[in-house]
Every structure is written in C-alpha cells, then in structure tokens.
Amino acid sequence: MADNMTNLRAQLIGCRACSRLVEHREEVARERRRAYRDQCYWGRPVPGFGPVRARLVVVGLAPGAHGSNRTGRMFTGDASGDFLYRTMHEFGFASQSRAVSRSDGLRLIDAFVTAVARCVPPANKPTPEELQRCGPFLRRELLLLRAARVYVALGQIAFIRLCAGLSDIGRAPVSTRPRFMHGAEFTLDGGEHWLLASYHPSRQNTQTGRLTREMFGSVFRRARALIDGRSATLSRVKADS
C-alpha cells in the first residue's frame, strides 16, 4: 500500500517503541502544570503539521512538556512556538503569529513543521537510541514532502538528524562534512534544494540573547528568498563554499 500522511500520522500517534518516553509523556499528561490543570493533555507522539505540498520544511528537536505534549501540535502552546510562528507569519509562512491550540485557526502556508523526536523527553534530552527509533518517521515525512525546496533545522541535534534523513532520501548536502552553525547554508543534490541552520528558539536561547529575533528572521528571510527565486542579503556562513 502506498504511504501517505494519513497512514503515517496514525502509525506515529500509536507508537510505544520507547518505554522511557512513553512513561514520561504520560506522567506529564497525568500530573499537568497548575496553569493547565483543567485541560486534557495530548500525551502521545506528536505528528508533523502543514500541507504536504509545502516547499519549506522546518525541523525541531522534540515536543515541549507543556507545549506540544499538551496541545498535540508541533511548537504549539509554549514560548518556543510563539517565537517560531511569529517569525513564520512575518515571512508569509503562517496565517497568524501565535499558536495556542489545535483549534486556534492557525494555517501553515507552503510550510511544514516537524521534529526529529516525537515524544517529550525527560530534561528535553532524547537519547541516541530514541532518536534512531524515531528516524523512520522523519524519513517517511521527507519522502512524502516531495515539493520541498528549503529545509530549516532548529538546533544542532535536529541538524544532525535531518542531514541523515536527507541523505537517506538522496538529498545529501553537497558539502561532505556539513557543520552546524547558526546561519549556515548548504546546497543539496546539485543546488535545487537547500538546508539552512538556526539555533533553536528555546527560552534558554532567546532569553539569554544567544538567538535574537533579527538572527532568527534572517534565516527565514533567506528561506523566503530561495523559495521565491530571489537573492537575499544576510549575515550568514556560506558553509558549502
């Protein structure tokens, strides 16, 4: 049977392959944060979000304990999502600047948002083995997202796992040893596709000034220009030169 996003979503949501993650995500969903005690948490693996014909694919690390693990939609319901969707809205990739729930009306425009780990991990740190088990879900998504032209990796772990997934589907970076750095840009399979790197929009990065709105915006400005076939000037590392 041919793969599709509906089949993938159903299989992903039902996954219980990692006992540590299953126990943690369900414990968080049972105990809940005081501010959300009246809400029913999702408490399951979180699927990707967006149209299958998207030309931009954004890949993060994992669901947040009281964000996506609560709402059931990637980068929804926490500060990281606020930072991400505000920027995506600015550059025309999202219909609104905030994401608070699956029913808030947010639509992604020519963009798909996903992650390399689908269950919230303790201390926000999935193990290599857990990331490996999640790898086939990302690979299947990448195969189904046939129209994708630009991939944005949010953080070093997402960058490493996305590079592996792209190599698996025949879109390996031209650079033989791609190195993560904020603003780095790599061409893929002959120059018709691109991989961009950004620090993750976590509180730890945004509140300390390691990642500013200007820095984050420069990555999505470049993505917008590449998708639209225009040139863009920004301070970045040309990592594949």
The answer to whether residue 234 sits within a structural domain is no
Q: Quick one: average pLDDT of 163-181? A: 90
45-81 pLDDT per residue, tens: 999 999 999 999 999 999 999 999 999 999 999 999 9
The answer to whether residue 238 sits within a structural domain is no
208-234 pLDDT per residue, tens: 999 999 999 999 999 999 999 964 443
Cβ atoms of residues 175 and 188 within 8 Å: no
The answer to whether residue 235 sits within a structural domain is no
> Which one has a higher pLDDT value, 8 or 173?
8
User: Does residue 235 have a pLDDT over 80?
Assistant: no
What is the model's pTM?
Answer: 0.93
The answer to whether residue 91 sits within a structural domain is yes
* CATH code for the domain in which residue 16 is found: 3.40.470.10
The answer to whether residue 240 sits within a structural domain is no
The answer to whether residue 62 sits within a structural domain is yes
Show the domain range for 29.
5-228
Phi then psi dihedrals of residue 188, to 5 deg: -120, 145
User: Does residue 158 have a pLDDT over 50?
Assistant: yes
pLDDT of residue 3: 85
The answer to whether residue 140 sits within a structural domain is yes
Cβ atoms of residues 223 and 59 within 8 Å: no
The answer to whether residue 237 sits within a structural domain is no
Q: Quick one: average pLDDT of 153-175? A: 94
Q: Quick one: average pLDDT of 88-117? A: 97
Chain center to CA of 105: 19
- For the chain, the farthest-separated pair of C-alpha atoms sits apart, in whole angstroms, at 53
Q: Quick one: average pLDDT of 17-45? A: 96
Q: Regarding beta strands 193-198 and 185-188, do their DSSP bridges make them parallel or antiparallel, or are they unpaired? A: antiparallel
The number of folded domains in the chain is 1
